[in-house]
Structure 1
Amino acid sequence: MYVPPSGLEKELQRNSPQRALVVDNWSVGFQGINQNFDANNTSLRTPLLPKETLGGGYGTQEIKQVMHSSNIQSTTVRKRKTSVEEEDDEEEESKDWWTKYYASVDNMCNETQEVSRLYKGNNLEVPTLYDENISPNSGSDNSPPVGESKKKFTFKSAVNVTRNAVRLSPKEQRKVVVEKKKKKLSTFKIYKGELENEPEYRQFKDWLDTFPLYRGKKTEDDSEDESRIVGYFKGAVKVYRWPLPKDCLEKRDLTNGFFQGLPSNDPIRVLVRVYIVRANDLHPQDLNGKADPYIVLQLGSKRISDKDNYVSKTLNPVFGKCFEIEATFPQDSMLTVQIYDWDLLGSDDMVGETKIDLENRFYSKHRATCGFPRKYEETGHNAWRDPMKPTQILAKLCKDMKVDPPVYGRGQIKVCRQVFTIQAEDYDNGNAKTIDEQLALNVLNQFRQLSEVGCPLVPEHVESRPLYNPEKPGIEQGKLEMWVDMFPKDMPLPGSPVEIAPRKPKSYELRVIIWNTDEVVLEDDAFFTGEKMSDIYVKGWLKSQEDCQSTDIHYRSLTGEGNFNWRFVFPFDYLVAEQKIVITKKESLFSWDETESKIPARLELQVWDADHFSADDFLGNITIDLNKFPRGAKSAKLCTLDILKNDGSVPMVNIFKQKRIKGWWPFFVKKEDTDEIELTGKVEAEFHLVSAEEAEKAPVGLGRNEPEPLDKPNRPETSFMWFTNPLKSLKYIIWQNYKSKIMKGLIFTILTVLLLLFFYSLPGYTAQKVLNIIF
């Protein structure tokens, strides 16, 4: 039986008690936003504005004292203000919808990790992002559902407390500028499931329920019953208590009853825009374990196939497509989105499909026609896309719900006896028109908090819909990320669709010069002398070992020092949004299409010891993430393993922003028994990143070749290959090491020869002398 809520019940919901969260020695309060309108009272603020710094004891210091100490460090941040602003201008030009998408994904992941750490640290059960037991209309975002224990707290409240706690860390204070830049990025909501399955939207059946109509008798076989569906009946059956309770707030005319205010059942033409972002984890369809997916849309008698634009050999295709269809409700109400696998020979196979009831969304009070962004902008990648402005939408909602129209003040707005304000930054940067639009948009995003008439409205979002194949019922075939916008044709039409086409990779050329090495471990023993030495060379690659490049060999290094002056050149295609290198190639000689793959932008450098009659010996390596790697040391003495720390104490460099850098970096290996790393050498290198256009205008040669040749290294004379230089081998290997012994041996040999000659010639000389005396 449907019983309209009484005034007492709604009053209890509005005046939910203050809620406290206690974590260790933290005590934080969350309150509702019910306030009296007072234009002169500047202390009136809602959750739309950031709260004051939390007050709580942390060890022996107060939070405000710690935050005050961080203000002292703001002087250093101001010194970098100019360079940061220049970088912001460059980044603003390259922002697009995919910038918002990846920022939203990062935001969702970070919030999930923060809450998980907070709950695990306090031995609490980690809540799910979408808990069906939490009522969506239980008050503000910072207030608990009615009747819930004070020891529990909501997902968003935990995130807010964790963020304030993290700010106290000295390491985090070094990231002030980076965090501010991240906050400037516009984001939207990413749902992990279907939009209608979110508890707060209740299947968009707030007006009507949907009942399938079957041909013949219904059986217990769901798959067979689904094939016998011939239509759907939409309606609602409600039973009222009569007479109505005296304190009932919903004084409805029983002639129309529950259907009071229901839109007309006359056919209405609607422009439907279906945005298909990407698919994830599709079920393989080909023998190679891949698929060639493309999109097919069906709405009523209309069918759209995007077969010509199939994505080759992938299970995670990025479509970035927008399809426009004209629908007529109630005839064309069910949208079917299908993913097919393209085949060169034979018919194409369906991977999976998902169905969306557009009519339920269109008539729902949650306004699922076009999601609301968090900020109002008239131009750029975050431009407002609804034909109605936020002020017009808010005024229409107030009129439909029979409440007083909104009252706009200086930086604040009053709706249903509640006051909402605007961010100070938005107030300073906007004009009177955009400020009112932002105020109205803030109310729409917090519409559920309005007493009596409030309900959650659908925000700007991307939903992840599971794909199912009718031939394999109940088995998920992958996920499809998408969203749908709908606009009535009897109203002003919207602007151009949102451009979500996949970003084209930009071509770059990375030039790496290996200047010198130092303190490389000595792996070999000299054959004649037994002294420690290494024949050092460095090799590196960016995409894979197939494009590996190597320096020449510095022979007979006795100190670990190597001199090279050798240049590597790595051309590559790079996606800025995903921070990945794009590789396009055919998997085999018989492949029909090229396969596109994405790998992290990492440069691998290794140092080796060359051997003549056996395999070369690996000495050490370093992997350099081009988006974030430690700044090199200025000299070999300052180059230690501390450079590799990732605790925030070492400044990081992004080669795509700095373009050029030179320094010393360590080579290392991991010990077999433990995870500890051991220093095995140091390399002096220079990285220079140029675009493909710049590389074409100013080409350079590999190694020391033209154009822009490098000078030959000034290597010691002892650096040579012994069997190709016998004279040098005699000089530097034998003479240099056995000089004294050779001299002594020569003297001894000469003396021995003289003595032997003396004793050999002595008898004859003596006999001749005697004969001369006698005769």
Structure 2
Amino acid sequence: MQGDTLLYKTFLHHELPILVVYEKEIETYFNNFSDSIQQFKLQRCPKLGGDPDDEDDEKDPDIGMYKGSFRIYELHPDTSRNRELIYGTVPTVGPIRINVRVYLLQGLRLACRSRIKENTCDPFLAVKLGSREIYDVDGSIKKNCRDPMFATFYNLTTIIPNMPQLVVQCWDWKATEEGRDILIGETRIDLENRYLSVKRPMCGLTERYMIDGPHSWRDFMSPVQILEEWCLANGIPVPTYSSDGKRAGVNGEMFSSEEFEKHEVNYEDSAVWGEYKERTALYILLEFGLIRDYVEKRQLTDPVMPGVPQGRILMWVDIFPFSEKPPEPMRVDPPLPVDQELRVIVFEVTNVETIQEIDPGPGMKKLNDLLVQGHFSGDTESQVSEIHTRAVNGNGVLHWRFKFNFQYAYLKRKVMIPGDIEDTYLDPIVTLKVMDGDPGVSKEPYGYVHLNLSYMPRGMAREDWAIMDIIPEYEDPPKGKDEVYDPDDYKFVGPPKITFLNLYKAKKTLGWWPLYKKQGDYLVKTGNIRMELEVMNREQSEKRPAGFGRNEPNANPVIPEPM
């Protein structure tokens, strides 16, 4: 969650568009988009004076559905204007052919209904609209997975109001002993209501008008065109704009783009940001409550067991008129993991609390052989530094470089471990342990430090600033009943500011960190470690080669022999 919060704050600082995530079906938040048309049940009329034994009277009274609206208008004295006033705001009637683009991102906690699979399933997608049915077994199947990442989309066409219902299904592949597929669940979407709604959910509006990049505008109409159409549909005069496009007046109210764009430096790149007039129109549309760019989590149910949840699916739908050329589809496939190399240079450790087989006695120095062990998420073996022999009182100088190679998935902010059936994703955590060079003295580490590269404390500039408060998981142990207040305990002044960083953005950090170990339920400090961490991709590592430890090529940077 800390990493997600950091990313969210970064988007807010740079004023980048943010998706709205609806935890349920989007229509439940907007009264089923019934602002233009509503649904009414059609029922069979009972026969007057009918025979109580007549079987026809016992049938289900519901015989269909009527979709429309009932409105009462005040007539204008000039009868020639009545048609314009009444029907000017009525949606177009008659069959309309539309293009439908269905984005299906991920299944969420899908039900496991197979009797031959243990708490798992092999889900794939099926989409139905009108007379077209797509069973995408080859393209969307995910093996042994209850939270499959589909990351795909489908283009379809239909005619409304004739065939308005979109059906998205999730199936379990070969879920029976006979090799049959089992329906996990489905969700149904009324496209007609979305197409005709004044909220315009047919294509969500991005929060910023960008003409390039991953957040570029994807509607077939520009914000200026949408705003003009919306004003005409609601009987409002079309907007007027200032000469520079930064201000606009709508229905007696003035809007300025400066109200929505807080930091001018974020909008300097003209190759990315569209013209001011379009940006101002977009902000007005968002203020009027039109649907923003969104994803929705739709519940999947089985028609045989209505009302029983079978999981959810993360998705959204874009709708465009068939007469207009649809824009390029949005890329939803997750980026491929990137080959990364982490280089950790351990310079020294200080004040490590060590043990000895024979107590040296009061006033005598403790002498231990110390080494550092490095481990990265997903590695089967740890790397080991050379031994600093006869380290005095837990102070050792190592000057040793560790190198860890891994694949990093930026979207998940995790390390990917390739698997035969399914890939595994782990937090990018590097662990440095201070060990005794003689296992006969101690097999347990004297102290260690865990650092999550995507959210880690920045190294301290001074050794005495490496306090436990910079470790996110640290909690102060409770004071004992017999402990007495000592003013000397409160003389220490800690670091001026504790900050955290994402090493994949900062690239490099150098400083001091505390070493600690667990005693009971709490972490206790046992020493300090000074090191440098640097992360780079494969291309950068090939341009700046460096050897393990102090081996050749001993460069980038050169590590001297410890004195």
Q: Which has the larger radius of gyration?
A: 1
Change (3 A) 1:574 1:485: same
Match of 1:191 among 5, 19, 22: 22
Runs of at least 5 residues in structure 1 that lack an aligned partner in the other structure: 1-101, 111-177, 448-455, 587-592, 716-775
How much has 1:563 moved relative to structure 2?
A: 3.3
Q: Secondary structure at the match of 2:280?
A: helix
Counterpart position of 2:527: 681
Match of 1:437 among 275, 278, 303: 278
2-structure distance, mates of 1:637, 1:386: 57
Counterpart position of 1:383: 216
Counterpart position of 1:627: 454
2-structure distance, mates of 1:406, 1:191: 31
How much has 1:437 moved relative to structure 2?
A: 1.7
Counterpart position of 1:708: 554
Counterpart position of 2:159: 328
How much has 1:557 moved relative to structure 2?
A: 3.3
Identity of aligned residues (%): 28
The answer to whether the 8 A contact 1:533-1:559 is kept is yes
The answer to whether the 8 A contact 2:429-2:452 is kept is yes
Change (3 A) 1:517 1:106: closer
Counterpart position of 2:395: 561
Structure number with the bigger relative contact order (C-alpha 8 A, sep ≥ 6) is 2
How much has 1:378 moved relative to structure 2?
A: 2.2
2-structure distance, mates of 1:708, 1:433: 49
The alignment's TM-score, normalised by the length of structure 1, stands at: 0.58
1-structure distance, mates of 2:360, 2:232: 99
Match of 2:419 among 585, 600, 606: 585
1:423 maps onto 2:258 in alignment: yes
Change (3 A) 1:664 1:212: farther
Q: Secondary structure at the match of 1:585?
A: coil
Q: Secondary structure at the match of 2:187?
A: strand
The answer to whether the 8 A contact 1:104-1:189 is kept is no
Counterpart position of 1:274: 102
Change (3 A) 1:354 1:509: same
2-structure distance, mates of 1:524, 1:219: 92
Deviation per residue, 1:35-77 (Å, 9 max, x gap): xxxxxxxxxxxxxxxxxxxxxxxxxxxxxxxxxxxxxxxxxxx
1-structure distance, mates of 2:161, 2:58: 28
The alignment's TM-score, normalised by the length of structure 2, stands at: 0.78
Counterpart position of 2:489: none
2-structure distance, mates of 1:446, 1:461: 16
Counterpart position of 1:599: 426
How much has 1:274 moved relative to structure 2?
A: 0.7
2-structure distance, mates of 1:634, 1:365: 58
1:664 maps onto 2:509 in alignment: no
Matches within 5 A, 1:335-734: 335-343=166-174, 346-409=179-242, 411-423=246-258, 434-447=275-288, 456-490=289-323, 492-526=324-358, 532-544=366-378, 546-586=380-420, 593=421, 595-609=422-436, 611-613=438-440, 616-634=443-461, 636=463, 639-641=466-468, 643-644=470-471, 649-672=497-520, 675=522, 677-708=523-554, 714=562
Deviation per residue, 1:115-155 (Å, 9 max, x gap): xxxxxxxxxxxxxxxxxxxxxxxxxxxxxxxxxxxxxxxxx
Change (3 A) 1:614 1:235: same
Change (3 A) 1:296 1:568: same
2-structure distance, mates of 1:217, 1:518: 92
The answer to whether the 8 A contact 1:521-1:681 is kept is yes
Deviation per residue, 1:429-460 (Å, 9 max, x gap): 5899822222222222122xxxxxxxx42222
The answer to whether the 8 A contact 1:253-1:260 is kept is no
1-structure distance, mates of 2:43, 2:539: 63
The answer to whether the 8 A contact 1:190-1:461 is kept is yes
Counterpart position of 1:121: none
Match of 2:38 among 158, 183, 208: 208
Task: State the AA in 2 paired with 1:305.
Answer: Y
Structure with greater helix share of residues: 1
Change (3 A) 1:627 1:283: same
Q: Secondary structure at the match of 1:617?
A: coil
Change (3 A) 1:303 1:686: same
Change (3 A) 1:497 1:714: closer
How much has 1:488 moved relative to structure 2?
A: 1.0
How much has 1:307 moved relative to structure 2?
A: 1.8
CA RMSD after TM alignment: 4.2
Counterpart position of 2:480: none
The answer to whether the 8 A contact 1:509-1:572 is kept is yes
Task: State the AA in 2 paired with 1:631.
Answer: R
The answer to whether the 8 A contact 1:105-1:190 is kept is no
How much has 1:476 moved relative to structure 2?
A: 1.5
Deviates more, 1:430-439 or 1:189-198: 430-439
Change (3 A) 1:460 1:596: same
Change (3 A) 1:289 1:493: same
Task: State the AA in 2 paired with 1:290.
Answer: T
2-structure distance, mates of 1:218, 1:641: 79
Q: Secondary structure at the match of 2:418?
A: strand
Structure with greater strand share of residues: 2
Matches within 5 A, 1:135-146: none
2-structure distance, mates of 1:218, 1:683: 86
Task: State the AA in 2 paired with 1:584.
Answer: P
Deviation per residue, 1:507-535 (Å, 9 max, x gap): 10112222322211122233898974444
Change (3 A) 1:105 1:536: closer
Task: State the AA in 2 paired with 1:318.
Answer: M
The answer to whether the 8 A contact 1:103-1:187 is kept is no
Counterpart position of 2:146: 315
